[in-house]
Structure 1
Amino acid sequence: MALLTEFKAFISRGNVLDLAVGVIIGAAFGKIVTSLTEDLIMPVVGLITGGINFSNKFVILGAIPETYKGSLADYAALKAAGVALFGYGAFLTNVINFLLMAFVIFLLVHFAAKLMAKPEQAAPPAPPSGPSEVDLLTEIRDALKAKA
């Protein structure tokens, strides 16, 4: 029963709920960045490189089953058939996806840090050089007592 109580206290803490929200938003954000990479950036890269579709670039490493009737250029179909493939194009797409996501997260954190930063406070004025007002008043008092 104590373990259940500890779990309830753990799960109801703010940090855990923030983490759960972050994971959910991160998953949705990941889909957006994946779409950005696959649907916008990689086609432009393919256009620049002469129409190469990087996500479908691979090398066949294993034997193709005799029952396979699909195209030898279809990465997804060969992978589904269990053929060992060296999918360097999919890897390249995922690396670009990761770099874009990391850069966008960096920009978000950088922007949030600027918003959260406290403005620099002005340095306190330097203390005046020489005797303080209290010291001067004490001297005046002492001088007046000496004359009296």
Structure 2
Amino acid sequence: MKKLFQEFKNFAVKGNMIDMAIGIIIGTAFNNVVNTLVKKVVMPPLSLLTDDVNLSNKKWVLRAGSDEMEEIYIGYGEFLEVIIDFGIIAFTIFMVLKFIKRFKDKAEDPDNSEVETPKNIELLSKMERLLQEQNEILKQKSH
């Protein structure tokens, strides 16, 4: 039991659980931003283009409802809205990740002085230069 607790403590403290929690929190906040973007910015112009058609109300009625029976329908409008939401979310995430990758590439380039290079990349870069110099010296000695 003590070993299990120690493993859990290492898991939680070493960052895995914390990183995951931060990702979930940011993801939830990002989801709210994207939902608002879709519902309040993107869908109103689409509604104008489609003569104020509300997609969420679109459905194929399979059986009309009555006092005794519930209406049965296929809600294809809601499905279309979800697909549009997914497309916008996927595109937004793609653009954010593209921006982050561009910034990360700049940060990992040891020759780029605009952004501070992380220490591990700087160290690897120095090691690479030393190995190249060593190879040049060895080539010169062998000739």
What TM-score, normalized by structure 2, do the two folds share? 0.66
Larger Rg: 1
8 Å contact kept, 1:60–1:84: yes
**2:10 maps to which residue?**
9
Once residues 57 and 92 of structure 2 are traced to their aligned partners in structure 1, the CA distance between those partners, rounded to angstroms, is 26
Distance 1:62 1:24, change over 3 A: farther
Uncovered stretches (5+) of structure 2, i.e. residues with no partner: 112-131
Identity %: 36
Once residues 55 and 13 of structure 2 are traced to their aligned partners in structure 1, the CA distance between those partners, rounded to angstroms, is 45
Q: Work out which structure has the larger RCO, using CA pairs closer than 8 Å and 6 or more positions apart in sequence.
A: 1
CA displacement, residues 48-100 of structure 1 (integer Å, 9 cap, x when unaligned): 111111122112234525169xxxxxxxxxxxxx6433111111111111111
Once residues 57 and 18 of structure 1 are traced to their aligned partners in structure 2, the CA distance between those partners, rounded to angstroms, is 41
Larger proportion of helix:
2
Residue from 82, 90, 95 that aligns with 2:83? 95
Alignment of 1:1-148 (within 5 A): 1=1, 2-62=3-63, 64=65, 66=67, 83-117=71-105, 118-119=108-109, 121=111
**Number of equivalences:** 115
CA displacement, residues 80-128 of structure 1 (integer Å, 9 cap, x when unaligned): xx6433111111111111111111111111111111113375xx8xx8x
Once residues 83 and 39 of structure 1 are traced to their aligned partners in structure 2, the CA distance between those partners, rounded to angstroms, is 30
Which amino acid in 1 is paired with 2:91? F
Give the superposed CA RMSD. Answer: 3.0
What TM-score, normalized by structure 1, do the two folds share? 0.64
Which amino acid in 2 is paired with 1:11? A
Uncovered stretches (5+) of structure 1, i.e. residues with no partner: 69-81, 135-148
Once residues 45 and 9 of structure 1 are traced to their aligned partners in structure 2, the CA distance between those partners, rounded to angstroms, is 50
**2:117 maps to which residue?**
none
Once residues 64 and 13 of structure 2 are traced to their aligned partners in structure 1, the CA distance between those partners, rounded to angstroms, is 53
CA displacement, residues 9-42 of structure 1 (integer Å, 9 cap, x when unaligned): 2122213211211111111211221121122211
Once residues 67 and 40 of structure 1 are traced to their aligned partners in structure 2, the CA distance between those partners, rounded to angstroms, is 41
Distance 1:33 1:83, change over 3 A: farther
Distance 1:67 1:29, change over 3 A: farther
